[in-house]
Amino acid sequence: MKRATLSGCVGALLVLLGGMVMLGWWMQLSPLVRVLPGFTPMVFNTALCFVIAGGALLAPSSDPDLYRKITTVIGGALALIAALILAEHWFRTSLGINWPSLHAWVYDSGWKEPGRTSAGTAAGFLMSGAALVLATRVRRAWMGTAVRLLTFGVGTIGVLGLVGYLVSAPLLFPEYFFAGVAMHTATGFLLLAVGLRSAWKRLEWARTPLLAREDDRITVVGATILVAIALAAGIASFAVLQGRAQTLVGDNVLAALTRRTDMFRDLVELRESNARLAATRPAVLRNLRIIRAGRDDGSNIANVRAVVDSFLKEGFSGLAYYDVDGKPVASGGAFVKTPELSVTLATPDKPELLWEGGFLLRHHIPLRDAAGEVGMVLAEQPLPLLNRLAQNVLGIGTTGDMGLCVVRGEQLHCFPQRLNPRVFSTPLVNVAGESLPMTRALRGETGVIITRDYRAQNVVAAYGPVGDFGLGMVVKIDAAEVFRPIREQLEIALGVLVLLAAVGTVLLRSQVKPLVTKLADANQAKDRFLASMSHELRTPLNAIIGFTGTLLMKLPGPLNVDQEKQLRTVQAGARHLLALINDLLELAKIEAGKVELKLVPTDCKEVIDEVAESLRPQAEAKGLGFTVTVPQALRVRSDRRALSQIVINLTNNAIKFTERGSIRIKAGRCEENGGKRLDISVEDTGIGIRPEDQEKLFGAFTQVDDSSNRRYEGTGLGLHLSRKLAEALGGRIEFKSEYGRGSTFTLVLPEE
């Protein structure tokens, strides 16, 4: 009942989680689709799969056949959806199942396939679907092991997804398989694993432990703890080293950004001063006035050309003087006609920063003297220093890069960089919906951040505006290069830790195995002793009971009242002790494997009628109704003695714990998992069993009373022995109980 409640609660939570995310996509509510801004969103198909999986956990299990059909359909649907998604990843194609239009408001246009579930998430749902389908069809031990491993795999994906967020695992491992698992998706997988385990724990095959030997169980638990400690140590080490490396690299790129922005401002100011110098030469202004007045004898134009040549020698790539009407007077060098990118800088002279195989600065400056405007000078100056700054980011790393961009509309227009040697444009946000470092810089912000850049690569980036020019600058390095030394050290450290865990496991097993073997030998010796002492223990007790009965029958002579009372006390105690010894001997035989079952065709009605006749007087003595409902032709291949003992134990318990009402024994056939089974039920209207007591009901030497005081006699072995005998017959005992209203215990036996 507890497991059913747990799986139902988990199912409801998963349906709620998936439903809220689906609503978030439909209503375009960002808080519902991602945990925090910048976090990976849970896509629609993932939410849909959680709703489907939650539905499977909510399915009623009272009808085994219906439950098997429901879980098969739902598990198959989950596996099919997951397989299609994995096929998209494997073949790098789209099957049209990702609802791209529904996700367009979160993912920018540069995202290749909006709404596609990550491969790690799809793998988790594939395992979940397989576990749901297999759980109700377990026929062999390996199938049960497969269900357990699949459930463990689902939980592992959840753990690895959460760990990836906690320690920023993609920074350490750029190809981290679970990087695309959203945080609430990882949490959902943990819940799903708990729900799956709770669901299949109710099934018969799950009652058989995976590891039969105690030393194997202890070794596995110890190894798990050792591996967990090793992983925790590795993760903690990485977190410390990551923080230090991030600080050092962040300081480095920020310093590089500061140097470059200062150099760029100084460079532009210097080139602007040069251009102003060309626009304020008095001789040029005087000559242009003479040429404009028509008094030039040829020498004035020659003088202007000489000035042009002098500036070309000083580093100008092109210089031209125009008169007030815009007619060229003298020019030299080469001018860029159609630059690949042109950006007007917000300086007093409003120059243009151009790119045409390299950076250039173009000025259009009016020529004026005391009398007014004379003309205009057009000047272009190459910026080789800026070329070197952009192409050679010394001291940062092999993936170090510097970018200069301007924002136009909803796009960044960027000058070529070392890792992208062409003019390009990119959206303002990355694939995760976060503002790019360059976008932050163009908003006037300055800082250091670890994020994905326009290439969808994790980078450590320093960003900031370039003065008041209207440009942003970013200096960055790929996080993979930053954390490569840490990754290499961590891989070695983890390898050593895993090796130590393996050695520790071997040593643990070598120490535990002899202990467990000794305990097992001791238990077997005890069981053999008890089994062999059957005659010696029972004979004296039978003699006591027999002679006490003779005395009570007054065959040797009359008894007074006190003598008769004392003899009846002796007889009751002897019978109680004999019952206890019989139960102990039966348990010892079962544990020692000495119970010999003879499986023969058995008439169930005959066995049940015999039990009923022997126990009916006890029920009637308490004023209880006692009915038996068994079909005439009801036979099963079983051991008659074991079958009778189970029914006796169940009926005895029913009579013992029922003060008023009735006892009913019934039997019949029903279908289960495509086959037939025999059910023998004992119903009572007794005290019932509290929910918190039901887990310990079948424990040895356990008796659940309705109060703290023992009101009922018994050894506490009846139900324990009954379950052991039922399992030996290939069956099981099921029960349902309502405290204060009664219980029903059912022996379930396979037809074959």
| Residue that is written with structure tokens 């290069």 in the block | 481
If one counts the domains in the chain, the total is: 5
Range of weakest confidence among 292-296, 410-414, 543-547: 543-547
> How far is it, in rounded angstroms, from Cα 481 to Cα 393?
14
The first and second tokens of residue 8, run together, are 């139902």
636: CB partners within 8 A, 6+ apart: 601, 602, 604, 678, 749, 751
| Residue that is written with structure tokens 């470059």 in the block | 260
CATH classification at residue 666: 3.30.565.10
The first and second tokens of residue 298, run together, are 């040829």
In degrees, rounded to 5, the angle at the alpha carbon of residue 635 between the alpha carbons of residues 632 and 641 is: 115
Percent of the chain with pLDDT over 90: 33
pLDDT exceeds cutoff 60 at 752: no
Instruction: Give residue 229's pLDDT band: very low, low, confident or very high (50, 70, 90).
Output: confident
The first and second tokens of residue 480, run together, are 């993979």
**Alpha-helix runs per DSSP H in 533-552:** 534-552
CATH classification at residue 536: 1.10.287
Torsion, CA 270, CA 272, CA 278, CA 280, rounded to 10? -110
> How far is it, in rounded angstroms, from Cα 470 to Cα 346?
6
| Residue that is written with structure tokens 């130590």 in the block | 500
Instruction: Give residue 380's pLDDT band: very low, low, confident or very high (50, 70, 90).
Output: very high
Please tell me whether residues 11 and 155 are part of one structural domain.
Answer: yes
Please tell me whether residues 375 and 508 are part of one structural domain.
Answer: no
Domain boundary among 444, 461, 485: 485
> How far is it, in rounded angstroms, from Cα 482 to Cα 461?
11
Please tell me whether residues 407 and 293 are part of one structural domain.
Answer: no
Please tell me whether residues 170 and 58 are part of one structural domain.
Answer: yes
**Integer distance in angstroms from the first to the last C-alpha of the chain?**
28
Please tell me whether residues 638 and 521 are part of one structural domain.
Answer: no
Please tell me whether residues 344 and 358 are part of one structural domain.
Answer: yes
Domain boundary among 433, 453, 485: 485
- Cα 537 to chain center, whole Å? 58
Please tell me whether residues 375 and 408 are part of one structural domain.
Answer: no
The model's pLDDT over 150-183, given as tens digits with 9 standing for 90+, comes to 999 999 999 988 888 776 777 767 677 777 788 8
The first and second tokens of residue 500, run together, are 């130590």
Question: Is 714 contained in some domain?
Answer: yes
Instruction: Identify the pLDDT of residue 670.
Output: 81
Domain boundary among 470, 485, 500: 485
DSSP 466: -
> How far is it, in rounded angstroms, from Cα 143 to Cα 135?
8
Please tell me whether residues 341 and 436 are part of one structural domain.
Answer: no
Question: Is 229 contained in some domain?
Answer: no
Three-state secondary-structure class, residue 474 = strand
Please tell me whether residues 81 and 195 are part of one structural domain.
Answer: yes
Question: Is 215 contained in some domain?
Answer: no
Backbone angles phi, psi at 236, to 5 degrees: -65, -40
Please tell me whether residues 610 and 535 are part of one structural domain.
Answer: no
The residue among 238 and 419 whose pLDDT is bigger is 419
The first and second tokens of residue 635, run together, are 């036979």
Cβ(84)–Cβ(90) below 8 Å: no
Question: Is 441 contained in some domain?
Answer: yes
Cβ(383)–Cβ(351) below 8 Å: no
Please tell me whether residues 669 and 737 are part of one structural domain.
Answer: yes
Please tell me whether residues 101 and 141 are part of one structural domain.
Answer: yes
Domain hosting 353: range is 280-387
> How far is it, in rounded angstroms, from Cα 635 to Cα 18?
50
Question: Is 377 contained in some domain?
Answer: yes
pLDDT exceeds cutoff 60 at 572: yes
Q: What is the pTM of this model?
A: 0.59
**Buried b vs exposed e over 165-195: b needs ≥16 C-beta within 10 Å?**
bebbbbbbbbebbbbbbbbbbbbbbbbbbbb
Which residue, 701, 710, 582, 705, is CA-closest to 648?
A: 582
Cβ(752)–Cβ(732) below 8 Å: no
The model's pLDDT over 247-282, given as tens digits with 9 standing for 90+, comes to 888 888 999 899 999 999 999 999 999 999 999 989
Question: Is 224 contained in some domain?
Answer: no
Question: Is 718 contained in some domain?
Answer: yes
Cβ(366)–Cβ(279) below 8 Å: yes
Question: Is 146 contained in some domain?
Answer: yes
| Residue that is written with structure tokens 């795999």 in the block | 153
